[in-house]
Amino acid sequence: NLRNLTLSSPLCGRRQAVRGPAFMFNARGTSLTSEEERFLDATEYGNIPVVRKMLDESSTLNVNCVDYMGQNGLQLAVGNEHLEVTELLLRRDNLARIGDALLLAISKGYVRIVEAILSHPSFFTSERLTRSPCELQDDDFYSYDEDGTRFSPDITPIILAAHCQKYEVVHMLLMKGARIERPHDYFCKCADCTEKQRKDSFSHSRSRINAYRGLASPAYLSLSSEDPVLTALELSNELAKLANIEKEFKNDYRKLSMQCKDFVVGVLDLCRDTEEVEAILNGDISAELEEGQHHRSLLSRVKLAIKYEVKKFVAHPNCQQQLLTIWYENLSGLREQAIAVKCLVVLVVALGLPLLAVGYWFAPCSKVRSCVSW
Ligand SMILES: [Zn+2]
């Protein structure tokens, strides 16, 4: 497949390659009829009138014919960002390789074309979006010959969109019900995993890392999760553990774990006021508040970050500022005092603690209470 890899590079123009040595090794280039050649040219260069005329009038035209690089008209139109030609082709009901065209459009970031392809009737069932090319080997939705898609066969559209950080496309696919499946445990012994491991252990490992790469991408984290901070913190921990288990991909997993941590810090960076910082540091407080706790003292995300050793998060100015505010909550005047005064106050409070405690017993609502709770 090396020939295909080198030829599908976007820099390699079609005309140029025809004259190149690759042409000599390829017998298929010669088998195109002149009509098919004209059709492929029209789709590649976005010649709308010619494409429309040929689609309407010619009864012999095979719309799925492929050029010497194994790309059909749809792929050529999508690859060259011709939205209208793509729409014309999508109206044909016997069109093949729609999945390949979708992946191509996602990788290039052509949002309008992705939208057009997703409105095709073949996406009315969400199965097409949730399953990868290698799982969906039942029709001509993806090409499976050697010239097929240049994407890894375990990549679903949403994984690719997440890899490419296309927020709009990820959102569109999530709306259509596509999700990235969390890979099973590394030592999972279920029938599915055993079969994949037996068939091709390299592909199995690669599909796992591809899925995690999608899960850890900021676009997917922020759009798919109700609580992105919690999801990212837990994922970073899971990836750090995997780095120690799957040693051969150690660097990749470490990088992804770091990416999740950076995402959490990035979210904290974006905060504009105390309320937002509190929301991030405390997480989902609705459950705990019902039990009557004071939400300021929860800081569940900070505790989690300390547990998972996300130092950047805890040391972030926004987080530290919030922690200091809580520290001096009832004694705001103390903050401006010199170190010696602070030490003295601590000493006096520590020595007087038994007395203060007794005082608290008799008058729980007085000012003394704040000293004890402090
Ligand atoms: Zn399994």
Per DSSP, the residues of 246-275 read SGGGHHHHHHHHHHHHHHHHHHHHT--SHH
What does the pLDDT read at residue 359?
Answer: 84
Condensed to tens digits (0 to 9), the pLDDT of residues 286-320 reads: 655 555 555 555 788 899 999 998 999 999 998 99
201: CA distance to ligand 1 center in Å? Answer: 13
In this structure, which long-range contacts are made by residues 2-6, counting pairs with CB atoms below 8 Å and at least 24 apart in sequence? 4/69, 4/70, 4/146, 4/147, 4/150, 5/150
183: CA distance to ligand 1 center in Å? Answer: 8
**Burial of residue 369, with CB atoms counted within 10 A of its CB: 0-12 exposed, 13-18 middle, 19 or more buried:** middle
Residues 159 and 211 sit within 8 Å (Cβ to Cβ): yes
Would you give the DSSP letter of residue 297? G
136: CA distance to ligand 1 center in Å? Answer: 19
Condensed to tens digits (0 to 9), the pLDDT of residues 122-172 reads: 888 767 787 777 777 666 777 765 555 578 888 889 999 999 999 999 999
Q: How far apart are CA 96 and CA 102, in angstroms?
A: 12
353: CA distance to ligand 1 center in Å? Answer: 57
188: CA distance to ligand 1 center in Å? Answer: 5
Question: Where are the extended beta strands (E) located within 159-221?
Answer: none
Q: How far apart are CA 319 and CA 312, in angstroms?
A: 10
124: CA distance to ligand 1 center in Å? Answer: 28
Tokens of 196: 């994949």
- What is the CB-side half-sphere exposure of residue 354 using CA atoms within 13 A? 1
187: CA distance to ligand 1 center in Å? Answer: 8
Q: Give me the sign of the Cα torsion angle 176, 177, 182, 184.
A: negative
196: CA distance to ligand 1 center in Å? Answer: 9
3-state secondary structure of 78: helix
pLDDT, averaged in runs of 10, over the chain (374 residues): 43 39 49 89 94 89 86 92 94 87 93 93 79 73 63 88 94 92 90 90 90 95 92 94 91 95 93 88 68 63 91 91 84 78 88 87 68 54
195: CA distance to ligand 1 center in Å? Answer: 9
372: CA distance to ligand 1 center in Å? Answer: 53
